[in-house]
Structure 1
Amino acid sequence: MAGYVARVRHDDPPGGAPEFKLLVNSVARRWSELDPLLPDPSHPRQSSYPLLTVTDPRGKPAATGTMHYSWYQPGEVGRTWGVPDQHWLTPVVGGPDPEGALDSLLSSWREQLEQLPTGTGSESAALLTWPSRDISGIRPMQRHGLQPFTVLAARRQRRGVPPSLPPRDVTIRLSEPQDIAAVVGLVMEEHRYEEHFGGVFIQSDTAEQTRRVVARALVRRPSWIWLAERRGRPVGLVWVSPPSRARWVGPLVRTGPAAYIGYAIVADEMRGQGIGTALINEAHQAMDSQGIAVTLLNYAVLNPVSGPFWHRMGYRPLWTTWETRPALALR
């Protein structure tokens, strides 16, 4: 955008400089007005990649972007969750014209991606996470070829639909170690469904990796995995990570303690009968009784089932991850 100047810094991050503190503080004020659940933005941190900065026509900092690169090798669990080569940008965008500042920041990011020697091939992606209620970023992200891909949604304590009972022939209970085959089978069914939306890539070892993770979860007391059975047959589950095992989500939300729902599954032929609602209500009652202030979860934007369901359950978008594949499709 005219008047904005983008710079690539290879020196120490400017978090301690007064003008960059003012930038972060201004973004914090805007976020708090947009969404009370958003945390304060983080100051730029040391990285092996250069830091992108944008100044406005007056020479004042208007945006920063911390670059980060992740590469998942064959056999790693992360290979199931997205393309192997992931280029992330963490933007902090302020000033009176955040749309123009973000546009300039994304142009600078594209130039940096072009200069990378590897990691921008056909199995790569450029990604950033943006506050869902900050509409100032939508047009520049669209202009640069980014699309909304996943949503991190939040539910405050005791918010949602009234408690409901499952169908008469369905029981809900906490899973035990002997339920490992049932839990793994349902999780793999969810993986196969999510493959349609481009966020899951089942590998040859995904089932075995899933089995190991499930085995560790089921030996805990309680397991925090609720299993729905119809006449003894497993037909659904909800898997919660309580705050002690969901510390990674804490910095993403202002309120705490925070829990995270990793899986919520109902067998395809059993959907639409109230089983999912009953499962989530069971988990909500447990979390509310434990004083958990907010629950978070991810869903794919393109999934025609997840978004409407979670909104009915009391969740609403907090962060949206925007993505383009391959990374150099960024304009």
Structure 2
Amino acid sequence: MSGYVARVRHDESPGGDVGLDPLVRSAARRWADADPLLPEPVGFAPNSYPLLTVSDEDGHPVAAGSMHYTWYQPGEVGRIWGVPDQHWLTPIVGGPEPARALDSLLTSWRDQLEDLPTGTGSESAALVSWPARDVEGIIPLQRHGLQPYTVLAARQRRRGVPPSLPPRDVTIRLADISDLTQVVGLLMEEHRYEQHFGGVFLQPDTAEQTRKVSARALNRSRSWIWLAERRGRAVGLLWVSPPERSRWARSLVRARPIAHIGYAVVTAAERGHGIGTALVSQAHQALDSHGVAVSVLNYAEMNPLSGPFWHRMGYRPVWTTWEVRPALALR
């Protein structure tokens, strides 16, 4: 990587960094060529410092990345979804040699992590989200010890399997607050299954936290939680956040409006009987009728059920989150 110069900047530039505009435009062209669903990359906001930059032999920026640290204390809901100490790099890479630029950026990030006084112990992780179709980044990410961890997948309107009816003696309906206990039970089964893939860490208060979050959703006039029942017994659910509660996803995909699927659960004994497909079909019909342009969801890369199922339902990867644990295992 000789000739590329990396540095870290702690100065804050109100209104963003105009000097990085050519880099952002270069990255925008690469993203548009790789995947039309990707949003346009935006410049780094003033609160995105400290900022790593990589420049070529002529001093032109070819990569930049903001470093962000998240720490989840015991009892916080976010503690369920990952290790307590999470070090994130948000990269923008351009120029004629993006793989080389990303490699230099990751090397500089590793140097910064080594200098941190705390937060890089055994319960830490280094994470990067990278466009799934931008294949230039795969080898540099692997070279630095990062592994694919989760996928954000998207389905555009009217894509996927045709409408499907549930199996005989299975009914699907919108859940309400009277279904709270059944909903919590299904979600806890999902949490326990997801532990196998390193993405969920059950805490002593996970069930109570799940109950509180579920109660808020079920108390809404329209819950957007579909429940599948076989002879009155809950066997599956699908939980959707409609566009007004999915605004956070605007930075992930270009299409509007956006909905988010947070949970899809079918009990282990009922898998393979078409219940999941029927649940998704019901939700998709509602989303399509409401004019939702794209729905997004996350699944664990190593989950042998999720990827194949969601691809059949019309979803395809847009972003991949790469991770290494602990953070200083980054090479």
TM-score by length of 1: 0.98
Cα distance, 1:155 vs structure 2: 0.2
Query: Using the alignment, how far apart are the partners of 1:114 and 1:50 within structure 2?
Result: 15
In structure 1, the residue matched to 2:43 is 43
In structure 1, the residue matched to 2:124 is 124
Contact 2:166 2:274 in 1 (8 A): yes
Say yes or no: does 1:33 pair with 2:27.
no
Give matches, 1:77-88, under 5 Å: 77-88=77-88
- The residue type equivalent to 1:155 in the other structure is R
In structure 1, the residue matched to 2:101 is 101
Percent identity, aligned pairs only, is 72
Query: Using the alignment, how far apart are the partners of 1:3 and 1:180 within structure 2?
Result: 60
> Aligned pair count?
331
Distance 1:66 1:15, change over 3 A: farther
SS in 1 for 2:172: strand
Give matches, 1:215-294, under 5 Å: 215-294=215-294
SS in 2 for 1:203: coil
Contact 1:45 1:66 in 2 (8 A): no
Distance 1:48 1:135, change over 3 A: closer
Distance 1:322 1:15, change over 3 A: farther
Contact 2:15 2:46 in 1 (8 A): no
Query: Using the alignment, how far apart are the partners of 1:226 and 1:250 within structure 2?
Result: 24
Give matches, 1:66-215, under 5 Å: 66-215=66-215
Query: Deviation string for 1:116-151 (max 9, x for gaps)?
Result: 000000000000100000000000000000000000
Cα distance, 1:304 vs structure 2: 0.2
Q: Over aligned residue pairs, what C-alpha RMSD do you find?
A: 1.1
- The residue type equivalent to 1:187 in the other structure is L
SS in 2 for 1:64: strand
Query: Using the alignment, how far apart are the partners of 2:16 and 2:56 within structure 1?
Result: 19
Cα distance, 1:10 vs structure 2: 1.6
Query: Using the alignment, how far apart are the partners of 2:19 and 2:81 within structure 1?
Result: 38
Contact 1:15 1:43 in 2 (8 A): no
Contact 1:47 1:68 in 2 (8 A): no
- Provide runs of 4+ in structure 1 moved above 6 Å: none
- The residue type equivalent to 2:301 in the other structure is V
Query: Deviation string for 1:231-265 (max 9, x for gaps)?
Result: 11000000000011111111111001000000000
Contact 2:17 2:43 in 1 (8 A): no
Query: Deviation string for 1:38-71 (max 9, x for gaps)?
Result: 0011211224752100001221100001000000
In structure 2, the residue matched to 1:322 is 322
**Which runs of no fewer than 5 residues in structure 1 stay unpaired?**
none
SS in 1 for 2:46: coil
Give matches, 1:2-41, under 5 Å: 2-13=2-13, 18-41=18-41
In structure 1, the residue matched to 2:57 is 57
Query: Deviation string for 1:66-122 (max 9, x for gaps)?
Result: 000000000000000100000000000000000000000000000000000000000
Query: Deviation string for 1:198-252 (max 9, x for gaps)?
Result: 0000000000000000000001121000000001100000000001111111111
- The residue type equivalent to 1:77 in the other structure is V
Query: Deviation string for 1:285-316 (max 9, x for gaps)?
Result: 00000000000000000000000000000000
SS in 2 for 1:75: coil
Contact 1:13 1:51 in 2 (8 A): no
Distance 1:126 1:14, change over 3 A: farther
SS in 2 for 1:89: strand
Query: Using the alignment, how far apart are the partners of 1:94 and 1:159 within structure 2?
Result: 32
- The residue type equivalent to 1:118 in the other structure is T
Cα distance, 1:19 vs structure 2: 4.2
Contact 2:16 2:44 in 1 (8 A): no
Cα distance, 1:12 vs structure 2: 2.2
Say yes or no: does 1:309 pair with 2:309.
yes
TM-score by length of 2: 0.98
**Which runs of no fewer than 5 residues in structure 2 stay unpaired?**
none
Query: Using the alignment, how far apart are the partners of 1:228 and 1:108 within structure 2?
Result: 50
